[in-house]
Amino acid sequence: MELAGLTQREKGLDLIAAHLAGLDSDVDRARDRLADAIGADLATLLVAALSKRSMSDLSARPATAVAA
């Protein structure tokens, strides 16, 4: 979604449309799309940080190496 050059109203409408499209059962969840783009381990860390989940929730998972 390209938001540059749009008015604030157009940006808002585009974001709402993208959110509503995500409710479609045929569309992958945002977390799944993120995992496909950057890998499951990094996606888990980012989602946890953004959702303010504690790091102790992550410590229950076995540690895996992430390539830089």
> What does DSSP assign to residue 1?
-
Where are the chain's structural domains? 28-58
* Distances from the Cα of 30 to the Cα of 1, 37, 44, 53, 56, angstroms: 14, 11, 12, 17, 23
Task: Output the pLDDT for position 37.
Answer: 93
Q: What is the band of 49 on the pLDDT scale with cuts at 50, 70, 90?
A: confident
Q: CB–CB of 66/42 below 8 Å?
A: yes
* Residue type for position 60: A
Write the burial class of residue 54 (CB in 10 Å: 0-12 exposed, 13-18 middle, 19+ buried). exposed
* Residue type for position 24: D
Task: Output the pLDDT for position 27.
Answer: 73
